[in-house]
Amino acid sequence: MEKIECKNLHKEFKGDGTSTVALNNINLSFQKGEFTAIIGPSGSGKSTLLSLIGTLDKPSNGTLTYDREEILKKGKNKIADFRFKEIGFIFQQFHLLPTLTALENVLTPLFARKVPYTKIERAKEVLKQVGLTDKLDSLPSQLSGGQQQRVAIARAIVHKPSWLLADEPTGNLDTETGERIYELLKELNELEGCGVLFVTHDPVLAAKASRIITMKDGVVLSDKEGVSS
């Protein structure tokens, strides 16, 4: 999948009588291989945008096309299949399954999926890629924050997605560890050629991206080239 296009995206959340506009008339397009940072203050709608792009949620209005295909109009299982094929997610809270070891956590996306490669080998491979060969059998509670996030990244790339979506992947980490995670993402972007889209508060990290989108109150303030490109 080469291109994601957002047209007139609109999203609002309805509560008890009140409705909050999270996204308002967003028009953006993303190319595979881009390394994009989305930046903005809390509540600016950046996470919402990311979840829409990642097909976790549906827009209230507007269209999202993936290579001109409107995936979100399909059934839940089809959407899930699409996610499995094309998208890897990384969360701020890591969201590892606490009852599973690092290896098992990495394996979770592959459960009940037919893949052309050996699952275990692939899982070990990606864990090696993120530098956690010695922690295969550790439970998340036995890992540090940075290690957990690296397991999460391994889980996100185990099924070879075209896109990596990260929601503040460094938000719960100290600067140094954050830096290392960032490097890892950058490396994946370059080696695997997958499009990376990440949300962050940190302007320093954002500045290193090839494209920087700034948001505020649900609208895109600016969309410019970053330093690295």
Partner 1 sequence: MIRFIWQNWWRRKDRFILLIIGAFIVSAGLTYLIGLSETNKGTVVDNLQQRWSASYDIVVRPKGTRSVTEDKKLLEPNYLSGMNGGISIEQYEMIKDIPGVDIAAPIAMIGYANYEVNFGEVELSEEGLYRKKTTVTINNGIDEEKNSFNSYFPNDVWDVMNKGPEYGVGAPILDFSIGGDSLLAGIDPEEEAKLIGLEEAIIDLGSSRYFEDTDGYHFNEERVYHEFPIIVNQHAYVDKIEEISFELLDLDITEENADEVMETVKERGGGSYLDTLDGELVESFSSSGIETFHAFVSKMTGVDWKTGEVHVEEVVELDNEEYVSPMREDGVTGIVYKPSPLKYDEISSPYIDRWPYSYQLLPFRNGENTVGVYRNKESFREPQLMAANYVELPRIKPNWIGFYDPSNLSISIDPTTELPMETYRPATAEYVMDSDGNPMNPPKIVKPTGDPYNFLTDPPGMLTTIEVAERLLGEKPISAIRIKVTGVTDLSEESQAILEKVASEIEKRTGLITDITLGSSPQLALTYVPGLNGESDIGWLQQPWVNIGSSISIFKETKIGFSGIVASVIAVAIVYVWASGIVNLLARRKEFAVLLSIGWRPSRLNQLLFIEASLIGLFVAFISWVMLGFVYISSEVSISFERFLSTGLFGLIVYLLGSIIPMIMARSISPYEAMRSGEISGKSKRLFQAKGINRMAINHFIGKWKRSILSVISIALPTALLAVFLYITFRLRGIMYTSLLGEYVALEIGPTHYIAIIVALIIAILTTAEIMWQNVSERREEISLLQSIGWKRWSIRRLILAEGVFSGLFAALIGFTIALMIIWGLYHAFPAEEIGFILMTGLIPVFIGVLGTILPAERAVRIVPNRGMGGNISNRKAVEKRLKWVVISTSLLIFGTFLFTMVRVAPNIEHANSNVEVEQVFNPTEGSVEKIDREEPISSRDESANSYEAPSDYLIELHTGENSESKGWGGVLFYEAKEVESSMPPPEPGMKNIAIEFNFEIRDTMSYHMRPDHHFTLIDGEESYHPVDIKIIETIGWEDEQWLHGIQDGRMHAVLEFTVHDSIDNYGLLLKNGTLGDGIMVKFEK
Q: Which residues bind partner 1 (CB under 8 A)?
A: 15-16, 47, 50-51, 54-57, 76-77, 80-81, 83-85, 87-89, 91-93, 95, 97-101, 104, 108-109, 111-113, 137, 139-142, 155-156, 159, 167
Backbone angles phi, psi at 64, to 5 degrees: -125, 120
b/e sequence 19-32, b meaning 16+ C-beta within 10 Å? eeebbbebebebee
**Residue with Cβ nearer partner 1 (8 or 93):** 93
CB of 113 to partner 1, least distance (A): 8
Task: Write the DSSP assignment of 109-132 as a string of letters.
Answer: GGTT---SS-HHHHHHHHHHHTT-
Q: Which residues contact 60 (CB under 8 A, 6 or more apart)?
A: 10, 11, 12
Judged on CB neighbours under 10 Å (0-12, 13-18, 19+), 192 is: middle
CB of 228 to partner 1, least distance (A): 26
**Residue with Cβ nearer partner 1 (91 or 182):** 91
CB of 47 to partner 1, least distance (A): 6
Cβ atoms of 152 and 140 within 8 Å: the answer is no
**Residue with Cβ nearer partner 1 (77 or 229):** 77
**Residue with Cβ nearer partner 1 (108 or 175):** 108
CB of 105 to partner 1, least distance (A): 10
CB of 157 to partner 1, least distance (A): 11
Residue 181: half-sphere exposure toward Cβ, Cα within 13 Å: 30
